[in-house]
A = this chain, B = another copy of it.
């Protein structure tokens, strides 16, 4: 989810056990749940691998987001009295801070999280869960097909979307979001593919 593990990275049970200091049962439970969310793929008798979305899956993810997110922000802009805007305002501040400090990993994470928080603002558990899944998948895709660092987060588009919501302008908010999604998608290079990486150094590195 934070792009520290490349797609197709093998996640062996034994390795995860010692890395996190837990028994195999916990590891297997976690792998099963991750697999049910499509974040990893479980191959029978072969192990768990970080999911590696293909072109068609990538298109599906963006198509699904194009279906859901525009009505979502339109709705937010309509009843913004009702909803949790503070969450979003605070978030934009975090994004700005990370961008000034040029913390690339943090920027990527927050950039996805903004969309999750748009859903969270509705206070609707189901909308939240759907968006979280789509955003996670988008993160994988950007990591795989993102041509360079520029594509993932066009600077202040998030901020503009929030402003449109705050000023109760549904049409503008929706339009800005659609453009935003298009920017992200068009920044992808559907031919390039990153190499698989077959150890867990990335996990160990952070603890």
Contacts and interface: CB of A to CB of B under 8 A. Distances in A.
A148 interface: no
A153 interface: no
A6 to B, nearest CB: 22
A60 B126 contact: yes
Interface string A66-84: 0110111001000000000
Give how many copies assemble into the complex.
2
- Tell me whether chain A's interface is mostly helix, strand or loop, or mixed: helix
Interface residues of A, number: 25
Contacts of A86: none
Interface of A: 29, 32-33, 36-37, 57, 60-61, 63-64, 67-68, 70-72, 75, 122, 124-127, 130, 133-134, 137
